[in-house]
Structure 1
Amino acid sequence: MPNTHPAIREFAVAGAEEGPYSITTGPDGALWLTFAHSGEIARLTLDGQLSRYPAGPESCRPTVITRGPDDALWFARTDGHLGRITTGGELTAFALPDPAANPFGLCTGPDGALWFTELNTDRIGRATLDGDITHFALTSTGAFPSFITPGPDGALWFTLNQADAIGRIDLTGEVVLHPLPGGAAPVGITCGADGALWFVEIAAGKVGRLDVGGDLQEFPLHHPDAKPHAITAAPSGDCWFTQWGANRVGRISPGGHLTEHDLPTPGSEPHGIAIGPDGAVWTALETGSVARIAH
Structure 2
Amino acid sequence: MALRGAEVWTTLVHAGALARLTDGEVREIDLGAPDSRPSVITATPDGRLWFTRSGDNSLGWYDGDAGATVKVPSGSPYGLCVGPDDAVWFTVMDADVIGRVGADGAVTEFPIGTTGAFPALITSFGGDLWFTLNAGNAIGRMTVDGVVTTYPLPTDAAGAVGISGGPDGVWFVEILAGQVGRIDADGVITEVPLPDREAKPHAVVATADGGCWVTLWGSGSVVRLDAGGGVRETVALGDEAEPHGLAVAPDGSVWVALERGSVAHVQPQE
Same fold (TM over 0.5): yes
Structure 1 equivalent of residue 195 of structure 2: 222
Structure 2 equivalent of residue 141 of structure 1: 115
Structure 2 equivalent of residue 15 of structure 1: none
The one-letter code matched in structure 2 to 1:82 is: L
Residue pair 1:25, 1:277 contacting (<8 A) in 2 also: no
CA distance in 2, matches of 1:95, 1:166: 26
Structure 2 equivalent of residue 35 of structure 1: 12
CA distance in 2, matches of 1:128, 1:77: 18
Structure 1 residue 232 corresponds to structure 2 residue 210: no
Residue pair 1:55, 1:91 contacting (<8 A) in 2 also: no
Structure 1 equivalent of residue 156 of structure 2: 182
Using the TM superposition, give the Cα deviation of residue 260 of structure 1 relative to its aligned residue in structure 2, in angstroms.
4.7
User: Once structures 1 and 2 are overlaid, which stretch shifts more, 202-211 or 276-285?
Assistant: 276-285
CA distance in 1, matches of 2:235, 2:224: 12
The one-letter code matched in structure 1 to 2:197 is: P
Structure 1 residue 91 corresponds to structure 2 residue 54: no
CA distance in 2, matches of 1:185, 1:270: 17
Identity between Structure 1 and Structure 2 (%): 46
Residues 213-245 of structure 1: CA distance to partner in whole angstroms, max 9, x if unpaired?
A: 111111101111111110001223320010101
CA distance in 1, matches of 2:172, 2:204: 7
CA distance in 2, matches of 1:216, 1:176: 14
Residue pair 1:159, 1:165 contacting (<8 A) in 2 also: yes
Paired residue secondary structure (1:171):
coil
Using the TM superposition, give the Cα deviation of residue 208 of structure 1 relative to its aligned residue in structure 2, in angstroms.
0.3
CA distance in 2, matches of 1:43, 1:284: 12
Paired residue secondary structure (2:14):
coil
Structure 1 equivalent of residue 2 of structure 2: 24
Structure 2 equivalent of residue 107 of structure 1: 81
Structure 1 residue 161 corresponds to structure 2 residue 138: no
Structure 2 equivalent of residue 284 of structure 1: 257
Residues 246-265 of structure 1: CA distance to partner in whole angstroms, max 9, x if unpaired?
A: 11101111111114524242
Using the TM superposition, give the Cα deviation of residue 278 of structure 1 relative to its aligned residue in structure 2, in angstroms.
4.4
Query: Given the two structures, how large is their TM-score scaled by the length of structure 2?
Result: 0.95
**RMSD of aligned residue pairs (Cα, Å):** 1.3
Residue pair 2:209, 2:227 contacting (<8 A) in 1 also: no
Using the TM superposition, give the Cα deviation of residue 135 of structure 1 relative to its aligned residue in structure 2, in angstroms.
0.6
Q: Relative contact order (alpha carbons < 8 A, sep ≥ 6): 1 or 2 greater?
A: 1
Compared with structure 1, are the counterparts of its residues 249 and 231 closer, same or farther at alpha carbon in structure 2 (3 Å cutoff)?
same
Using the TM superposition, give the Cα deviation of residue 80 of structure 1 relative to its aligned residue in structure 2, in angstroms.
0.4
CA distance in 2, matches of 1:55, 1:69: 22
Q: How many residues are treated as equivalent by the alignment? A: 266
Q: Would you identify which runs of 4 or more consecutive aligned residues in structure 1 move more than 6 Å?
A: none
Residues 114-172 of structure 1: CA distance to partner in whole angstroms, max 9, x if unpaired?
A: 11000100000011133200010012111110110011x20110000000000000011
Query: Given the two structures, how large is their TM-score scaled by the length of structure 1?
Result: 0.87
CA distance in 1, matches of 2:65, 2:8: 13
Structure 2 equivalent of residue 268 of structure 1: 241
Using the TM superposition, give the Cα deviation of residue 279 of structure 1 relative to its aligned residue in structure 2, in angstroms.
3.1
